[in-house]
Amino acid sequence: MIQKLQRRFALSRQGAVDLIKGCIACVVQDISFMFPVGLLYFLVIDMMNGGVTGSRVVFYVAGTLVCLCFIFIATWFQYNATYLATYVESGVRRISLAEQLRKIPLSFFGKKDLADLTNSIMSDCATLETAFSHYVPALAGSLISTALIGLSLFAYDWRMALAAVWVLPIAFTITFFSARIQEYFNRKSVEANVDLENGVQECIESLQDLKANNAEKRYLEGLDKKIDYVEKRHIITELGTAIFVVSSTLILKFGIATVALVGSVLLVRGEIDIPLFFMFLLVASRLYTPLEGALQNLAAIISTRTNIERMNEILDHPIQTGSRQLTNEGYDIVFDHVAFSYNTGETVLKDVSFTAKQGEVTALVGPSGGGKTTVSRLAARFWDINRGKITVGGMDISKIEPEALLSLYSIVFQDVTLFNNTIMENIRIGRKNATDEEVIEAARLANCEEFAAKLPNGYNSMIGENGCELSGGERQRISIARAFLKNAPIILLDEATSSLDVENETLIQTALSRLIKDKTVLVIAHRMRTVSGADKVVVLADGVVAEQGEPKELMNTGKIYPHIVKLQTISKDWGI
């Protein structure tokens, strides 16, 4: 049962246990609210039989106090078992989603955008938090307590009991049959929300380009349409839910009428007495009140299926696993007949074989779309290959846990990601336990001293969101400083100097030459100035290794490499 709850509601094991406790607590609370009804029933009987004597007064006073205490304890237990437990589970759920995303291959993120994933972690979790604190336990409590109370009514008079409960299966059947329609409405609402969030995020990120191309007004008009569509979808969803919920609650109202009608007939015939008639009317009025809310809760629970499916898509996605024990001997990277394609079906690599030796710089060159960046990502197991084998020092990387494997790599991406923190802390990401002196030394090697000295607080200056206070070259130098600080035996450079001017590029390459001693270096570069200093060049074209060898050798024997060098030589002389 616990496993079914975990699967159905995307819960942890403790969350499923807490949900059961919450349902039990709601049952106890709902039953506790019926105790005053029983006390009132006996009071009416006493009053009809001559009044309330002294001993009976004590009984009713004590009974009232006991009822109040029981209701207080039941409510306290219910609050802790539902609300507090749900808030804890909400935090656990968000953390588990984040942990799962950390272990999922990067190929998954090619199918998802940031707004969609953010919506799953924030909005979907918030929706389920409300469902498990307000809806699910209350619904279960209403159903179970109603069943118990309904069965007890049959013990008094089956005809009156039947008059009271006949509306229940009809009301719930209407709501259950509406499940598919409500799921459809809710799915459309979620899709509209995600589309709007994508539009808002894209607008903020590309505002500079929109303004530069006088496209801001046109884009905002499209965004307005998305906002209107979200509003329309939510209205349709609420209306679709309301139709079924209102119909169900309307059916419930007939229960009181049938109790009154059947009770009146039986009372006239003398088959029941007034106290019993009064009791059934009183119980019926209390019986339907929580059920009206339960029906609304049922509709809300049905609508959460879309949110749960989106979360389960993340939680069920295969993760990258492996041993944390590194068994490599040296740091040669070997690609052995590697093939790879994205989930879209696009084949990027068909048959790639080469060796990047330790102590050498291996440059990946070739036309755009040839697979250079993909090769570097596969070397670090950001994705898993479809065929072939990749080894580091003879160790099959597909059998190594990704975080353990990445301890061997220092990576400088073409697109730098910085955090809204100081220069010091952004560099320290390369090695969290590094001292300030070690961070500053890494920054000096990456030529960060020049721009850091100009900032008000030097290395302790805040650089804004994603380093917006810095230039492209300054941001890239911070990324390079991280690689210096980590000082890993394997270095992956993806256009590491593309945003630097000639002077800074020379300084960085001088620093890199010190860093890469006795290390395995895999560099993606389009500038032949960078490639000319490499020990080996691997030319990738159409998903295969078209040529490989030393730069000078390829200039004499190759076809693609000399052509690339020639084109760059021509473009260097181009001017306006």
Which residues, 6+ apart, have CB-to-CB distance to 229 below 8 Å? 192, 195, 196
Q: Name the domain boundary from 286, 315, 344.
A: 315
The answer to whether the beta carbons of residues 363 and 355 sit under 8 Å apart is no
Residue 505 lies in a domain: no
* pLDDT of the residue at 379: 92
- Is there a single domain that holds both residue 422 and residue 277? no
DSSP secondary structure of 324-379: S----SS--EEEEEEEEE-TTS-EEEEEEEEEE-TTSEEEEE-STTSSHHHHHHHH
Which residues, 6+ apart, have CB-to-CB distance to 274 below 8 Å? 48, 267
Q: Name the domain boundary from 250, 280, 315.
A: 315
* pLDDT of the residue at 576: 52
- Is there a single domain that holds both residue 383 and residue 470? no
- Is there a single domain that holds both residue 156 and residue 25? yes
* Residues 462-491: b if buried by 16+ CB within 10 A, e if exposed: ebeeebebbeebbbbbbbbbbbbbbebbbb
Residue 429 lies in a domain: yes
Name the one residue in this structure whose structure tokens are 């030393």. 550
Rounded distance, CA 553 to CA 549, Å? 6
- Measuring CA to CA, which residue among 393, 385, 402 is closest to residue 334? 393
pTM over 0.85: no
- Is there a single domain that holds both residue 21 and residue 115? yes
Mean pLDDT of the chain, nearest integer: 83
- Is there a single domain that holds both residue 262 and residue 324? no
Residue 452 lies in a domain: yes
- Give the residues of the chain that fall short of pLDDT 70: 107, 110-112, 115, 299-300, 303, 343-345, 496-505, 507-508, 510-511, 527-530, 568-576
DSSP secondary structure of 86-128: HHHHHHHHHHHHHHHHHHS-GGGGGT--HHHHHHIIIIIHHHH
CA–CA distance from 538 to each of 362, 366, 417, 465, 560 (Å)? 7, 8, 28, 37, 11
- Is there a single domain that holds both residue 67 and residue 150? yes
* pLDDT of the residue at 511: 67
* pLDDT of the residue at 155: 84
Residue 510 lies in a domain: no
- Is there a single domain that holds both residue 532 and residue 463? no
CA–CA distance from 36 to each of 33, 110, 279 (Å)? 7, 60, 12
Rounded distance, CA 78 to CA 330, Å? 60
* pLDDT of the residue at 42: 80
CATH of the domain at 431: 3.40.50.300
- Is there a single domain that holds both residue 91 and residue 34? yes
Neighbours of 442 (CB within 10 A): 26
Please tell me what DSSP assigns to residue 448: -
Rounded distance, CA 519 to CA 497, Å? 19
Look at the chain and report how many structural domains it folds into: 3
* pLDDT of the residue at 177: 77
Domain span holding position 567:
320-408+490-499+516-576
pLDDT, tens digit, 9 for 90 and up, residues 45-73? 777 777 777 778 888 889 889 999 999 99
pLDDT, tens digit, 9 for 90 and up, residues 566-576? 776 665 555 55
* pLDDT of the residue at 249: 82
- Measuring CA to CA, which residue among 240, 243, 401, 427 is closest to residue 322? 401
Q: Name the domain boundary from 263, 296, 315.
A: 315
- Is there a single domain that holds both residue 399 and residue 422? no
* pLDDT of the residue at 80: 86
Residue 57 lies in a domain: yes
3-state secondary structure of 550: coil
- Is there a single domain that holds both residue 399 and residue 446? no
Residue 155 lies in a domain: yes
Rounded distance, CA 313 to CA 9, Å? 13
Residue 540 lies in a domain: yes
Residue 402 lies in a domain: yes
- Is there a single domain that holds both residue 230 and residue 134? yes
3-state secondary structure of 317: coil
CATH of the domain at 76: 1.20.1560.10
* pLDDT of the residue at 102: 82
How wide is the angle at C-alpha 552 spanned by C-alphas 551 and 555, nearest 5°? 85
- Is there a single domain that holds both residue 164 and residue 220? yes
